[in-house]
Amino acid sequence: MKPSILMATVAGLTLGACGSADIEIETTTETPTAETETVVTNTDSDLHPKLQGVAAATYSLDKSHAFLTFEVGHSGGISDYRVNFSDFDADLTFDPADPEASQLSATIQASTVQTNYPGDYKQGHADSPYESWNEDLAMNPQWLNAGEFPEITFTATGINRTGDLEGTVTGDLMFLGETKPVTLDVTYNGTANAPWYGDRDLIGFNASTTIIRSEWGMGAFVPMIGDEVTVEFSGEFIQDE
Amino acid sequence: MRTLALSAALLAFTIPASAQVSLSGADKDTYSLEKNHAFLTWSVVHMGISNYTVNFTDFDATLDFDPDTPTASTISVTINPLAIETNYPDPEKKVGWEDKLTKGSSYFNGEEFPEITFVSTGAAQVDEFSGTLTGDLTFLGVTKPITLDVTYNGVTNTPWFGQRDVIGFNASTTIDRTEWGLTTNKSSVSSNVVIEFSGEFLQDD
């Protein structure tokens, strides 16, 4: 048992630390009820308020609330060319009392890139074997070469907590047959419970990193198309049943 | 053959690797959005724990750009609210979800209000290549001023557009959707909407 004065101080400090940094958002629809989570055994009230009541459990990506994009500078950097992956999945083992012990693996279907190309691709690329710019980007050996390398994978190897809700996740990124370490900057955004998921917790994260694509062997059109690729994720994970 | 010719053209196509941004070389003229290199997204916070980001896929803009006095530039933008991309994984449910977002009377109501428009009314320079752009945003039949943070990213010329200049910008702003009457799901979806643009404009013929 902690003296209640200490708990009050901790709570006050924590709130003070996060209050001004929080963006103006609606908070969760309901407060997660820790007492229904039999797996939470730690001193839950010592945790940051956004980590309280979160089940230490395995989670899977909630694919309808998850976004993964990459951006490269185009034409020497006069615009950011933005591409969405539309099919990817991830498994997360998360312990709110020990986030550094979390485990994460993600798989991206390389062929599912989605651009915004409203023009007539075939008119401008009469000799192309591809039917669309999305297909060109996905299948062309100079781009994602998804016929040969259908999956891009990331497997976390180490996590460092840098703040109450922030950290870095280092892992192996396998892309175009090359495996190299990358480090993501990750923010834990909080937890929520949705009526349609019952007691299963939802937790949300943002993550981002910048990689040098030529290090994985994709050097086409550098520097007209930037070598630096900014990768961004925001999404939710649902506690496994 | 075409690829070889294109590659040769690209080699001759000098682009500063470290993007030395300059206004010189950009003509004072009318430019139109280069739609194949333009991205417009909006993002809301979902249940306080993730950013829900949606792409607009059909929008256009006309820019009168004055490199000598950038703040004298004017722009008008038109967005088709019926054309969005949500990245909803189930193909059948995706149609239903996007229909609800675009056509639903409590969402974009795009059949009754088929255009979202932005017309600039003024600009202020903040830095050499950045500034603010104020204008009227019409959405759901409501017109209110908003201010965008804008960065000019530079000018280039490409083999396929010849002498016509291509200029690039980033722009972003945050609006409160309830001010335009979009109050749906306030308990689980943020009122604040982050809007981001990055894209290129092509000098008119």
Low-confidence ranges of chain A (pLDDT < 50): 1-37, 40
Using an 8 Å CB-CB cutoff, list chain A residues near B158.
Answer: 75
Chain B residues touching residue A71 (CB < 8 angstroms): 198
Between CA A186 and CA A207 the distance in angstroms is: 4
The pLDDT tens digits for A71-95 are 999 999 999 999 999 999 999 999 9
Q: Please indicate whether, in this complex, the C-beta atoms of A204 and B39 are within 8 angstroms of each other.
A: no
Give the CA distances from residue A12 to residues A8, A26, A48, A98, B178, in Å, rounded to whole numbers and listed in that order: 6, 21, 11, 22, 32
- Nearest CB to B50 within list A27, A80, A235: A235
pLDDT in tens, B123-182: 999 999 999 999 999 999 999 999 999 999 999 999 889 999 999 999 999 999 999 999
Looking at residue A5, its pLDDT comes to: 38
Query: Distance, in angstroms, between B86 CA and closest chain A CA?
Result: 9
- Name the band, by pLDDT with cuts 50, 70 and 90, for residue B13: very low
pLDDT score at A42: 56
Mention every residue, 6+ apart, whose C-beta is less than 8 A from residue A163: none
- Torsions phi, psi of A93, nearest 5? -105, 120
Inter-chain residue contact A67 with B35, CB threshold 8 Å? no
Nearest to A108 by CA among A212, A235, A239: A235
User: Distance between CA B86 and CA B56 in Å, rounded?
Assistant: 9
Q: Would an 8 Å CB–CB cutoff place A27 in contact with chain B? A: yes
Specify the pLDDT at position A159. 98
Task: Reply yes or no on whether the pLDDT at B91 is more than 50.
Answer: yes
Among B11, B44, B49, B151, which would you mutate to test the A interface (most chain A Cβ atoms within 10 Å of its Cβ)? B49
Query: Does A201 touch chain B if contact means CB atoms closer than 8 Å?
Result: no
Average pLDDT, chain B: 92
A72 touches A229 (CB < 8 A)? yes
DSSP A197: G
- Check CB contact under 8 Å for B48 and A63: no
Asked if the C-beta of B120 comes within 8 angstroms of chain A's C-beta atoms, the answer is: no
Please give, rounded to a whole number of angstroms, the shortest distance from the CA of B129 to a CA of chain A. Answer: 12
The ipTM is 0.89
Percent of chain B at pLDDT above 90? 88
* Three-state secondary structure call for residue A190: strand
Confidence band (pLDDT; 50, 70, 90) for B19? low
Angstrom distance (rounded) from CA A65 to CA B12: 44
B156, β-bridge pairs: B166
pLDDT computed for residue B190 by the predictor:
98
Q: Dihedral sign, CA of A53, A55, A56, A58? A: negative
